[in-house]
Amino acid sequence: MSRSKRITAVTNRGVSLTAIALAVAAVLILAADRAQGSSPPAPTGLSGEAVTSGLKISWDAPDTSETITGYEIQRRRGSADYTVLVNSTAGTTTEYTDTSGEGVDFSFVAGREYDYRVRAIYWSSSSGETRSDPTDAVTVTVPDYLGPTSLTGSDVGQGPLLEWVAPTISWESNRAGISGYLLRIIPPTHSARSAAIDSDDTSYHYGASESGSHEFKLSAVYGIFKSQPATVTVDVSD
């Protein structure tokens, strides 16, 4: 081998060794950071909106070469603590539609606001599973779906008769059409109960089993969303 070729070979070998050394150093630095409690990169660009099927959030994946196995979704309403809505999305998709709602009927009420945060879930053979700090929160507001109006109630002798005017629905982007009504019935002494009413109906006869003051709360239902309730109280005689 000529002297120039030997020099070239040694130089290339030196470059390769330098690259390997730098890679090893980077791994060691990362491992040291993790050992000291440093979190891996978090997602960025979290945004949200109401869509027909629920409340949708989306985000940008962290700028990293590390392996991401999924994302943790957190939610809260008002000043409550965040709760884990989804422990792991079990995939690297960067969007999620919340269809869980809340309350006994698992719906979202018009005008309410929900805060969301996202954490990235990492996996490596050396440290196992780790999670990033949560993103900054994004607030998603439930649209002001229209409720029934002119709700009245009267005791017709066989229990209260409720009547109302259906909401006037105009086409709007990302809005679901009315799918029915939800009536919350609060008797004087018995436990509260709910009744589902067809979207074509504008009256409901409730067969009360006791006398006294009955409170009724009627909401229009739009898929997973519902309006603020209209309320009426009816006194039922013996």
Structure-token pair, residue 166? 């259906």
CA 122 to chain centre: 22
Q: What pTM does this model have?
A: 0.75
Domain covering 149-236: architecture: Sandwich (2.60)
Domain 44-141 has CATH 3.40.50.300: no
Beta bridge partners of 181: 197, 220
- H or E stretch covering 23: helix 3-35
Q: Which residues contact 12 (CB under 8 A, 6 or more apart)?
A: none
Q: pLDDT tens, position by position, for the chain (238 residues)?
A: 555 554 444 445 554 555 554 444 444 444 444 444 578 999 999 999 999 899 999 999 999 999 999 999 999 999 999 999 999 998 999 999 999 999 878 899 999 999 999 999 999 998 899 999 999 999 999 998 999 999 999 998 888 999 999 998 665 544 568 899 999 999 998 899 999 999 999 999 998 778 899 999 999 999 999 999 999 999 998 7
Taking Cα atoms as reference points, which of 148, 127, 48, 125 lies closest to residue 94? 48
Half-sphere exposure (Cβ direction) of 55: Cα atoms closer than 13 Å: 30
Strand partners, 235: 213
CA atoms within 13 A on the CB side of 48: 25
- How far is it, in rounded angstroms, from Cα 166 to Cα 181? 10
Q: Residue type for 234, please? A: V
